[in-house]
Amino acid sequence: MKVLFSFLTVIVLVLVAAVGSVLNLKFAFGIIIPYLAFVMFVGGFVCRVIKWGRSPVPYRIPTTCGQQKTLPWIKQDKIENPTSALGVIARMAMEILFFRSLFRNLKTEVSEGPNGPKISYGSAKWLWIGSLVFHWSFLIIVIRHLRFFLEPVPGFVRIADALDGMLQIGLPPIYLTDLFFLLAVTFLLVRRFVIPQVRYISLPADFFPLFMIMSIAISGILMRYFYKVDIIAVKELAIGLAQLHPVLPAGIGDIFYVHIFLISVLFAYFPLSKLMHMGGIFLSPTRNMMNNSRIVRHINPWNHAVEVHTYAQYEDEFREKMKKAGIPVEKE
């Protein structure tokens, strides 16, 4: 049900774009919707981050994954249990660039041993590899796409493009990331189907983005390798969009409109969804804080007074018993 719903939604979106293109609503699909999507993406993203940022972090609650700072002769784990800004930056960089925590992933198995049940913890790096390939390919593909929007094409984009197209089979060159990306997204989707626990926790909101991304990739690949669209015209459109002088060159194939429409929808959907983990990872208090709350005081902006049971009240209740037990008291 959940899967079907997400799948059908994507199919409907593809059809909408195809029909739109055929009906010659190209101005809407090529210009208005992309602009709208861009505004929704940037606006939504910023709003979301501001909304998060408006809530304080009242307590310093890093998850410590290594030795604390303590006596000088005990080696502190400065990255996994940081007490300096540099340590935090290193920790976050490891997390954001290399998915450090996922790398730790284990597979827990309970089996019957000779002396009763046994739990073993195997290495489980598939999810880590899959996500790493997915995200890095995604990034490189986005960078590659900049060549459509920028003239002259900046050096780093050219380099990315050249490296990516290293595999020179036929023309145009096959991008390695296209392959990796499709493989990775398929892997992420398949694991949601086949691992019972993961299927059990999955929601439509988990399948939908995967189907979307997959169809974007497929439409892009079709467009590049099979139903070749007029690249010059695409670039004209893209540069026009980027320079806020949109022009609509004639003769771009319909499939292009499907591609750009799906991307637009994904962008617009982004800030409303779990895809915001992209922004959230930077703000996660368990990872981006120093473990120095015994060294410097952390202030809670809404710290309020609470009712307490004072020593005086305590002594009033127990004074006689305390005296009898020889415990000093304030009032005789």
Partner 1 sequence: MAKPEKVKLPKPGELSNIDFKTPATDWMDTPVNFKPGTYAWGAKEKDLLTLGLPNPRQWSPADEDWKLPEGWKTTILDGIAERLSKYRSFKIFMDICVRCGACADKCHFYIGSGDPKNMPVLRAELLRSVYKKYFTKSGKFLGRLAGGRELTEDVLKEWWYYFFQCTECRRCSVFCPYGIDQAEVTIIGRELLNLVGLNIDWIAGPAAACYMKGNHLGLEPHAITGNIETMCDDIEDLTGIRIEPSFNRKGADILFITPSGDLLGDPGIFTNMGYLMLFHELGLNYTWSTYASEGGNFGFFTSNDMAKRLNYKIYAEAKRLGVKWIIGGECGHMWRVLNQYMDTWNGPADFLEVPRSPITGTVFENARSTKMVHITEFTADLIKHNKLKLDPSRNNHLKVTYHDSCNTSRGMGLLEEPRYIIKAACNNFYEMPENTIREKTFCCGSGSGLNASENMEQRMRGGFARANAVKYVKEKHGVNVLANICAVDRAALPALMDYWVGGVDVYGTHELLANALVMTGEKERTTDLRGDDLPGKEGNE
* Binding to partner 1, residues 195-224 (CB under 8 A): 195-206
* By the rule CB under 8 A, 111 interacts with partner 1: no
* Residues in region 272-331 near partner 1 by CB under 8 A: 272-274, 276-277, 280-281, 283-287, 291, 293-300, 302-303, 306-311, 314-315, 317-318, 321-322, 324-328
Q: Which of residues 85, 117, 194, 226 is near partner 1 by CB under 8 A?
A: 117
CA torsion, ordered 178, 269, 32, 223, to nearest 10 deg: 20
* 101: Cα separation from own chain's centroid: 14
Nearer to partner 1, 169 or 308 (CB): 308
Q: What share of the chain is helix, strand, coil (3-state, %, to 5)?
A: 60, 5, 35
Nearer to partner 1, 101 or 233 (CB): 101
Q: Which residues pair with 123 in a beta bridge?
A: 106
Q: Which stretch binds partner 1 (CB under 8 A): 26-34, 49-57, 138-146, 164-172?
A: 49-57
* By the rule CB under 8 A, 185 interacts with partner 1: no
Nearer to partner 1, 107 or 158 (CB): 107
Q: Which of residues 77, 187, 221, 222 is near partner 1 by CB under 8 A?
A: 77
* 73: Cα separation from own chain's centroid: 39
Q: Do residues 239 and 246 lie in contact, with contact meaning Cβ atoms separated by under 8 Å?
A: no
- Measure the CA–CA gap between 102 and 95, rounded to whole angstroms: 9
Least Å distance, CB 10 to partner 1, is 14
Residue with tokens 């009033």: 316
- Measure the CA–CA gap between 254 and 249, rounded to whole angstroms: 13
3-state secondary structure of 84: coil
Nearer to partner 1, 117 or 170 (CB): 117
- Give φ, ψ of 119 to 5 degrees: -110, 130
Q: Which stretch binds partner 1 (CB under 8 A): 61-69, 161-169, 233-241, 244-252?
A: 61-69
What letter does residue 106 receive in the DSSP assignment?
Answer: E
Query: What track of x and - describes contact with partner 1 for positions 123 through 152 (by CB under 8 A)?
Result: ----x---x---------------------
3-state secondary structure of 116: strand
Nearer to partner 1, 27 or 59 (CB): 59
Nearest to 26 by CA among 290, 256, 328: 256
Query: What track of x and - describes contact with partner 1 for positions 233 through 272 (by CB under 8 A)?
Result: ---------------------------------------x
Tokens standing for residue 11: 């199919």
Nearer to partner 1, 2 or 145 (CB): 2
